[in-house]
Structure 1
Amino acid sequence: MKKHIIFLLALVVFFNCKNESTNNTDLSSNNKSQKTTEKAEFAIIIHGGAGTILKKNMTPEREASFKAKLEEAIRVGHNILKNGGSSLDAVEKTINVMEDSPLFNAGKGAVFTHAETNELDASIMDGRTLNAGASAGTTTVRNPINLARAIMEKSNHVMLSGKGAETFAEEQGLTLVEPDYFFTESRFNGLKRVKEKQAKIEKNTDTESALINFYNEDIQNSKFGTVGCVALDKNGNIVAGTSTGGMTNKRYGRIGDAPIIGSGTYANNATCGVSSTGWGEYFIRAQVAHDISALIEYKGLSLQEAAKIVLDKVKALGGDGGIVALDKNGSMVAEFNTAGMYRAQMNDKGELNIGIYEKE
């Protein structure tokens, strides 16, 4: 009888050990799967604005110009990251290239306000410290993204505007220019066309709906070109930045989402970095950039899932536009609900992707 009991106990121990071994193998397999999730050493992604960008309206020469400038810009940041530089430097220098180009609605290519001036906005955020800087409504600062960085690093504030921001820029030794530096004939002609159309509508109708339709169409055709960049460096730090000239024919000191931390720009090493472009009034209401980060942090969504949900919310509110973003693993997303968005991305393998239209 004792032999039978000992034999049964031995069988129980044997099968328990076998089951435990199997369970341990499964856990080991799961852990191995998690560990082999590829993480990029560094990565960078940029945008040059979103909107009704259609191939039929684009000449081959102009398309080539945009793609060449996008490549030039992103390679500047990529080289910084590849050589061990900071994501902060990569974002600033990449955006500088686009700010200095008349192709984009930022810096040199800024659109005109109703008063025929150029008012520029920018913001930048450091995902390591959650520190941020922004400027709004400047007219003499050549590179607003540089001012945003100076505000972040050298002031006790997050956002400065107008003359005060320009005074601070001068104190920090940033490059200042005469306001006519920002004049480009194509942007000024764009303003004249909008004003002429507005005057014609106001003269021939007194219905509120006609004017509302005009302003909506005006907005749809005047928000291309905002630039942005998000980068992850070899130290795991994420930085996001955005720069813009706002909207053609804007009035009353209007400020959009680009300089608003949480709307146009957000970065957090624990989640992701985001730069937005589009109809700013709706991106502010939806707090687009931060909302994407929050969905990752609090709901465990992927970057792609979070970006789509937030942009769907923007569309439901009545707005449109897009974002570029990357997460802490270097996964990148360019999501937009418009016909196109100027965009490019490069990973740590040096692979470059450039797109303009929806189906690219």
Structure 2
Amino acid sequence: MKHAIIAAIGAGLIGLAQFIAPAAAYAHGQSDDTHRAEAGWSIAIHGGAGTLDPDRMTPERRAAYEASLQAALDAGARVLADGGSAMDAVQAAIVPLEDDPLFNAGRGSVFTWEGTNELDASIMDGRDRSAGAVTGVTTVRNPIQLADRVRTDSPHVFLMGQGAEQFAREQGFAVTPPEWFATEARRESLDRMRANALSSLDVDHKFGTVGAVALDTHGNVAAGTSTGGMTGKRWGRIGDAPVIGAGTYADNQSCAVSATGWGEYFIRVGVAQEICTRLRIQTTFREEPCPDDAIGGSYCVSVQLPDAEVAQDTADAVMDEVAQLGGDGGVILVTPAGHAIFSFNTTGMYRGRATSEGVNEVAIFSGEAR
């Protein structure tokens, strides 16, 4: 790249501008080989991963999950199809999942050991890597929206507990009563855990965290994640969902990731950023002469982004590391080339994806729509 800069300067300002243009395109997630239609978009969502048994899934329950996933996927896809931003699409997809008691986020969140619902969320914009996160909030109906407000209207990235609640009130968020979040099914899980001295994994069997990742028609990526945590969590436990780099990460130069699983292991591996870093390292650059109408002697840089197979292998490799440490769960990601990828080391993950090229699918168990 150093030689390309020198060559461009030697050729004059026009040559330099033609060198800068491809480099700027790379910064916005574009390349000469994007493997997607011009101005295409892509979105993936998840509703948690874990030990899911097809034999215990009734047709009615499966239909309910699939309908909820499809509604969330459609909400995000509509934003992108209309030319909206990846950030708006991520929130459009996550909000209905937070409002749905089937999932462990917002309404339907699991209970802490003390019998309260404490919510976490994070969001990141791949354009400038701005991010916002909240943890331990109890009165905000849609924590993903509060996380974005932290990103845009505070000088900070991460707010917790009472401070996050105060910020929410100052920003005009309505105070949502505790009964909105509580469900009988989640309370029964806590009761069984207390009565039988079980671990949270024994009563949950799955991680119901929700998330979304998106690429918009402007070449920008974004990621968001929201959760109620783990049943019976104590001592202010925080998982990976609100941690930038562990449960959520987005960078136009590499990818956008949202994770779900056993948070302690995802934090230790730094799953979301690790996947993006590995993909960025595998991006290649080529120096080549600029178009014929450029001043002689100038060079341009073309960018080759990792293809879908490389992206899948990279995500799988990081999830293998999680498994080797003893953790499980899954991730969704989109790349600047428009690939929407799932990777999980559990028997299932509630998930869906859609693209401008006509892909539109939801799935639950391993082997479906991978």
TM-score range, shorter chain: 0.7 to 0.9
Distance 1:347 1:217 in 2: 34
Among 178, 196, 199, which residue is 1:215 paired with?
199
Q: Which letter maps to 1:274? A: V
Please list the CA deviations of residues 334-357 of structure 1 after superposition, one character each: whole Å capped at 9, or x if unmatched. Answer: 100000000000000332111100
* Native 8 Å contact 2:52 2:205 kept in 1: no
Please list the CA deviations of residues 220-263 of structure 1 after superposition, one character each: whole Å capped at 9, or x if unmatched. Answer: x3552100000111111100000000000110110000000000
TM-fit CA distance, 1:217: 4.1
Distance 2:58 2:146 in 1: 35
Does residue 22 of structure 2 align to residue 39 of structure 1?
Answer: no
The secondary structure found in structure 2 opposite 1:105 is: coil
TM-fit CA distance, 1:37: 5.1
Alignment gaps of 5+ in structure 2: 1-30, 284-305
Does residue 250 of structure 2 align to residue 292 of structure 1?
Answer: no
Distance 2:34 2:120 in 1: 38
Alignment of 1:206-245 (within 5 A): 214-215=198-199, 217-218=201-202, 221=204, 223-245=206-228
Identify the residue that residue 325 of structure 1 maps to in structure 2. 333
Alignment gaps of 5+ in structure 1: 1-33, 199-213
Identify the residue that residue 247 of structure 1 maps to in structure 2. 230
Identify the residue that residue 10 of structure 2 maps to in structure 1. none
Pick closer, same or farther for the CA change 1:37–1:243 going to 2, 3 Å: closer
Distance 2:319 2:178 in 1: 35
* Native 8 Å contact 2:122 2:131 kept in 1: yes
Identify the residue that residue 362 of structure 2 maps to in structure 1. 354
Please list the CA deviations of residues 55-76 of structure 1 after superposition, one character each: whole Å capped at 9, or x if unmatched. Answer: 1111110100000000000100
Distance 1:52 1:297 in 2: 32
State the TM-score, normalized to the length of structure 2: 0.82
Among 333, 352, 370, which residue is 1:344 paired with?
352
The number of aligned residues is: 311
Pick closer, same or farther for the CA change 1:43–1:54 going to 2, 3 Å: same
* Native 8 Å contact 1:122 1:144 kept in 2: yes
User: In proportion to residue count, which structure has more helix?
Assistant: 1
Q: Which letter maps to 2:170? A: E
Please list the CA deviations of residues 168-216 of structure 1 after superposition, one character each: whole Å capped at 9, or x if unmatched. Answer: 0111112320122111011101111111110xxxxxxxxxxxxxxx537
State the TM-score, normalized to the length of structure 1: 0.84
TM-fit CA distance, 1:218: 3.3
Distance 1:352 1:131 in 2: 29
Please list the CA deviations of residues 19-71 of structure 1 after superposition, one character each: whole Å capped at 9, or x if unmatched. Answer: xxxxxxxxxxxxxxx95652241010000000001111111101000000000
Distance 1:319 1:354 in 2: 25
Aligned-residue CA RMSD (Å): 1.4
* Native 8 Å contact 1:107 1:245 kept in 2: yes
Among 277, 292, 295, which residue is 2:260 paired with?
277
Distance 2:351 2:181 in 1: 23
Of the structure 1 ranges 144-153 and 180-189, higher mean CA displacement relative to structure 2 is found in 180-189
Alignment of 1:1-360 (within 5 A): 35=32, 38-40=35-37, 41-198=40-197, 214-215=198-199, 217-218=201-202, 221=204, 223-300=206-283, 302-360=310-368
* Native 8 Å contact 2:132 2:158 kept in 1: yes
